[in-house]
A and B are shown apart, each in its own frame.
Chain A
């Protein structure tokens, strides 16, 4: 009966293998990598990481990514909060259609929008700025935020609102003083998911930038294609992109399912 632990253990092992491959390669020298396969790095080196932290084209990639991701997270959650409240508390003309239409944008394939986005953001002269990417990622992050927040808000009884209004609170005062602190955990989880989805997306971020706001992901693909086989450097850069997720994940571990299911679990 109690041999159940074997399945999750094997599964986790399977998940860790490629990550280990990436990590071990990031500590190898180029010669060792091209020389043949080795499970452990033979000549342990930090040169790849040093190169990333000293070369502006590399570390600027991280800074650019972080800037637009943070901008996007705040825009998305900021506008999604009142909207999610409206969807969870009120019935109004076209509410269901609107809610559905938001979902279609979460599901829209970015490939369909790549070219028109390039033209749109060039036309309003935002091309190659952090704001362009932050706004473009709103396409799928605002619907995501509205759906997740609505899920959290629907778990809060309406009596809370009604009591506050009876006590003479105005809507805005109630919303900021009482409601937002009540769903603080939900807001945290939503911010985490906005951050994540903006962090992992590449196609739009790459299309909308060239030099000044180029994300780390795009820097990596360029290295892979132009300068041939700098695999160690690529592996080090990849390993570093795992850190933000790994860092925050412990705090949201009990809400991961809820977030990925758009607040519907």
Chain B
């Protein structure tokens, strides 16, 4: 859309600016403040400079949770994106079943995150949960509270359960925008199913798929509640992702300096991905 330049439009943005700035700037400045000082309580602070940043960047603990985070994000993307595309392509495009599919598929997206965690905890309990009991009676040795592999598998499966529908819904919106004429032309040319997917459906889905990947990347990068309720970061530290580790350091051990430094590093990473998201989005819109 052609926009007119009008500096008075600023007045319309002021309420948003004030409210969000109140919630974003003041806490962020608090974090910056902590990250540069040392305190022993009583509100007495000593200047530390960038010491905490060096400590965090060199600590094995931070490396480990960052690595776990990246591994987790990689795994869920590798499962959710292809699965989401597959489901979206095989969904009906007309008829009464469309609404049924949409409503049932969107259901997991609307459940409070801690309930998702609690639900999967109950579902996976080795002796009395549906999943845990079934796996054990099939002869698998499965106990997500004690075995790291089981805990990982359950966490990844939970996220797939929770968020694949987002990918499905976005891709479905893309697929539905393809006119029937395209398919008819493909049929006349005798195109194979793969060719239809590769040259008609995938290009049409490119835009929504980019959004889906970026959103899933961001949201899985800040995941906290679900794994915290499901495994509490355990067994040991095996499912302690960045957010969980951060809260452990800040509220559990009350090491404010390192926690603040870690927050800022974390935030910078998020900012970087955000910028990629924004650039891609705006380029999409110009096309």
Contacts and interface: CB of A to CB of B under 8 A. Distances in A.
Given A109-B270, A158-B2, A18 B104 contact: no
B114 A114 contact: no
Contacts of B83: 11
Interface stretch (B48-56, B118-126, B140-148): B118-126
B171 to A, nearest CB: 9
Interface stretch (B70-78, B194-202, B246-254): B246-254
Contacts of B120: 18
Nearest to A137: B23
A17 B130 CA distance: 8
Contacts of A92: 5-10
Interface stretch (A46-54, A95-103, A178-186): A95-103
B194 to A, nearest CB: 15
Given A90-B5, A91-B4, A250 B23 contact: no
Interface string A102-120: 1111011111111111011
B279 to A, nearest CB: 9
Contact of A93 (B7, B87, B118): B7
User: For the side of the interface on B, what is the size category?
Assistant: 35 or more
A224 B109 CA distance: 23
A105 B266 contact: no
- Main DSSP-derived SS at the B contact region: helix
Interface in B11-47: 12-13, 15-17, 19-20, 22-24, 26-28, 30-31
A188 interface: no
A18 B123 contact: yes
User: For the side of the interface on A, what is the size category?
Assistant: 35 or more
Contacts of A235: 118, 122
B233 to A, nearest CB: 12
B110 A245 contact: yes
A11 B119 CA distance: 18
Contacts of B277: 103, 107
Contacts of A20: 130
B138 interface: no
Contacts of B23: 105, 113, 117, 135-136, 138-139
Contacts of A4: 90, 92
Nearest to B24: A105
Contacts of B114: 202, 217, 220-221
B250 A115 contact: yes
B208 A261 contact: yes
A111 B224 contact: yes
A71 interface: no
Given A21-B131, A37-B133, A117-B27, 6 more contacts: A21-B119, A98-B17, A104-B270, A135-B22, A238-B119, A249-B103
14 contacts: A17-B130, A22-B123, A82-B13, A86-B9, A92-B7, A100-B274, A109-B242, A116-B31, A135-B19, A138-B23, A253-B106, A261-B173, A261-B211, A264-B211
